[in-house]
Amino acid sequence: MVGSITYTTSELNVRGNTRGIALLKARTGGKLTVHIPDRRTGGDDKASSMLSSHIDALVRQHVPFETSKWKEVPNEVKSYVMNRVLITTEQGCITVTTMNTAYRTHKNRMFQHYSVFNSKEEVLEHPYLDMNKEEWTRVCDLFTSEKFQRRSAIKKENRAKLKIVHTSGARSFQRAKALLKNPEFDEISPALLYKKTHTNKDGMWTLEDAQENFISCNVRFNDAFHESEGKSYTKVEIFAMVLGTKAGYVRGLGRSVRSVGSSSSAASVDLSRRLEEVRLEIEEMRARQMEYEAFMVKRSDMEQTMREHLQMIEEQQRKKDKELMQRMAGATTEKRRRALEDDAGTTRNLVEQQERRM
């Protein structure tokens, strides 16, 4: 953390938190309709932007940010936010992705606020916007955890390796493309979109690598018409050839553009995920089986020990009973002997007395 400076929204010259007023006005006649172009996974119109802002507001209001990942957010919270969104629109297919993005974006903004201060004690005295001190304390505990610090260092290192930066800001590439449309153009090409999102207001490229990518794309577009060898390539496919591929993402065009082979890739990812789930289930079942078998062995050993202990106690008791019986028998014999001796003595006394009288 560096410097103890607090910035307000006006000082940073950025938009404040959305209140959903535009969304309410837009859906006065019913649910909001979002336009999703062909071969796209996200919307590109104003309604899509309003829906994204609405989801962002719901995530900020209801999702606990002391969780380290989106998948750790309780399912009941996700379901609640989803149901609130579905009241507004039928576009459930893009809601989950937007919720995830809003969560990560807001978490990043909180971490930026956290990083301004020199110590945890100082940052606790300056909670993030619209957060009470208890919530902010839990978030700060997450930020100071060893696990979060380790992941943050890795992400920072990877971020430093990026060779290309864009100028679209928080606006999605699909929305930027929609804003570029005008009557003179029927369709904005991927190359033109790339240029608009990777050049500054003065027309200068953000980096030389970005300019080289743009030139390479145009060269490949021209070559595709002459060297297709009977195979036709879409502009997105050619773009992917130049910039490379990444699962679920077309570099330079954003996440809402379907990548090359996206359907098969998605199926493969789903299959891999399911296989992983099955593998984990099997391992869990095996672990439970091993625990059960270990318990049964332990139980058998305990039962055997108890049986041996009972046998020992019974044997000891039998010995005690035998000794007692022997003692009792000896005592009875001695008593009888003494009684007989007493009787014999009495008889002798009587005989002696009788003899004296005679």
Within 10 angstroms of residue 127's Cβ, the number of other Cβ atoms is: 18
Same domain, 113 and 18: yes
Percent of the chain scored above 70 by pLDDT? 59
Same domain, 109 and 39: yes
Out of 26-40, 136-150, 210-224, pick the least confident: 26-40
Which of 211, 229, 257 marks a domain boundary? 257
CA distance 337 to 195: 127
Report the domain count for the chain.
Answer: 2
DSSP track, 207-267:
-HHHHHHHHHHHHHHHHHHHS-TT----HHHHHHHHH-EETTEETTTBTTBPPTTHHHHHH
CA distance 23 to 339: 117
Which of 220, 242, 257 marks a domain boundary? 257
Please report the pLDDT score of residue 138 as a whole number: 92
Instruction: Name beta bridge partners: 205.
Output: 199
CA distance 196 to 173: 10
The reply to whether 280 falls in a domain is: no
The reply to whether 227 falls in a domain is: yes
pTM of the model: 0.51
- How confident is the model over 19-60, as pLDDT tens digits? 554 445 444 455 555 555 554 545 555 666 777 777 888 888
Cβ-contact 213, 240 below 8 angstroms = no
- How confident is the model over 69-123, as pLDDT tens digits? 888 888 888 888 888 777 665 555 567 777 888 888 889 899 999 999 988 889 9
Cβ-contact 26, 47 below 8 angstroms = yes
Of 187, 164, 287, 278, nearest in space to 235 by CA = 187
The reply to whether 306 falls in a domain is: no
Of 126, 102, 104, nearest in space to 113 by CA = 126
Out of 56-70, 168-182, 310-324, pick the least confident: 168-182
CA distance 343 to 245: 121
CA distance 135 to 65: 8
Q: How far is CA 225 from CA 39, 221, 222, 228, 229, in A?
A: 22, 7, 6, 6, 9
Tell me if residue 330 falls in helix, strand or coil: helix
Same domain, 129 and 210: no
CA distance 289 to 237: 50
The reply to whether 311 falls in a domain is: no
Same domain, 39 and 157: yes
Domain extent for 135: 9-161
Q: How far is CA 148 from CA 69, 107, 187, 193, in A?
A: 10, 12, 43, 36
- How confident is the model over 222-280, as pLDDT tens digits? 665 555 455 556 666 776 677 766 655 666 666 555 554 544 444 444 555 666 676 67
Percent of the chain scored above 90 by pLDDT? 8
Same domain, 153 and 190: no
The reply to whether 289 falls in a domain is: no
Q: What are phi and psi of 110, to 5 degrees?
A: -65, -40
